Structure 1
Amino acid sequence: MMNTPYHFTSVTLLITHYNRCKSLERLLKAFKKLDCNFGDIVISDDGSEKSQLQYIEKLQQEYTFRLITSPINKGLGNNINKGQDSVQTEYTLYIQEDFVPKATFPEHFADALQIMEQDKKWDMITLYSYSPYPYMTPYKLGFSEKVFHLSPWYTNNLKFYLYGDHPHLRKSTFLKDFGRYPEGLNGDQTEMQMSFAFIKNKGKCLLYDDHYGLLTQENSVEEPSTANFRKSWNNGNSVPFTIAKLIYSKYKFLKYNFQLLTKTVK
């Protein structure tokens, strides 16, 4: 059965990469198999090993993309910044190299793009998440608005992840609208600081309701995930572990409240 071709000419596929060239190849191959085409593709590399870059350069013989490199590893913030700086289309699909789109992706991504084109109030649409956002209002086409409540009565600390680094569609003016990603921090801190900026600047975001429905995150022993520790922490089920998680979540809630209230807007 032939796939329906999708041409997202107003979208640049921005892929951040670091030493996982086989995962990158798998991602590019998956989009090609789905006949999912973009106006441009940018691979932003964060100082990968020479052998990795050589492999990626060979991939350019089969896939058309621009490779933006760095002489050294400068961290997540720098890698996203320099990649986004090179985007020339109106919209950006930001994704890490270890994700794979499902057969359902093109159709619902087309819906997401249509929503952003028809209603300019939306700054980004999240397409994957480890868990649903705690406070959402149904919108349309299987998407819901992520609603941030500053009130302390809304106690789920996940509310502070109004922005998240998981795959999402966004306006390519994102850095201008919400500030550049902070550099010199670890990945979690970079993500959290950007989310604070997104909240402070009143960003508007949707989430696809079936948050596992469009993409999978696949890793191997050779190219492992850098976020496995978060999954293992969330999956503990013993009573002492549950109590520890509850205490830690309340600590994070208070910590994030303080950080948000004291953060200076860009």
Structure 2
Amino acid sequence: MTGPYLMEDPREAARLQAKVDAPRWVRTHLPHVMSPRATVLDVGAGPGHVATAVLRRWPTAMVVAVDTSAGRLAAGVREGGTATPWRCCADACRLPFPTGSFDVVYSRLLLQYVERRGAAVAEMARVTRRGGAVVLFDLDGQLVWHDPVPAELGALLARVAPALRAAGFDPHAGRALYRLARAAGLRELAVRVAPYHLIAGRVAPVERAHWALKLDIARPFLAHALGSPAAADRAVAVFLEFLEAEDTLSYSVAFTVTGRRP
């Protein structure tokens, strides 16, 4: 099992759709592995916004969006219009498809939340046909890399980080993708690293709103990790104050690893 999603909340589907330019991600990461009639699997698809962008770019492809939450999948149906991928509620570590079912399998920002990452990548490789492609995209440094780190923020991060690890979250999942791809038997591996988020100086209002919603959704987890709802409220306030400071630097990078099933 992949385990419970830390950000489980009715607002999460809308947050995921709002924070990413899905057509841009598809243009950047998939054209070199796609063909017009490819069979495609999006693992950890959320509301299926990226899968929908794939289908809009390649209307003759067959696209399946998989997520553990039927609610998140359903939330994206009304956004799809005529380009609507098939949706399937399933665990990334137990994909309900025969071996060699898909030409292209990808995951985007999934593995950081999956405790059994190796099992998930092995499943993605299994359901990919021989010669097909697996594309893994995940972050390194999320919630970790900041400068300067005020004392109160540092103390909060020191308390929250072990709780995140215990819940299966890995802020450095990106750097593990190459190793996981090799262990799953993928070959012809290509690795790409690019900036993901960079806040230098006071955060822009739109990005602050995204962070505020993300932190609000995470309040139940923060309350559990820090011992009380009041402590969670203070943690959210401290982090938002940090993002609004003129000397703030906060950043992470994204790893993309593409491999072929031999």
TM-score (norm 1): 0.32
Structure with greater helix share of residues: 2
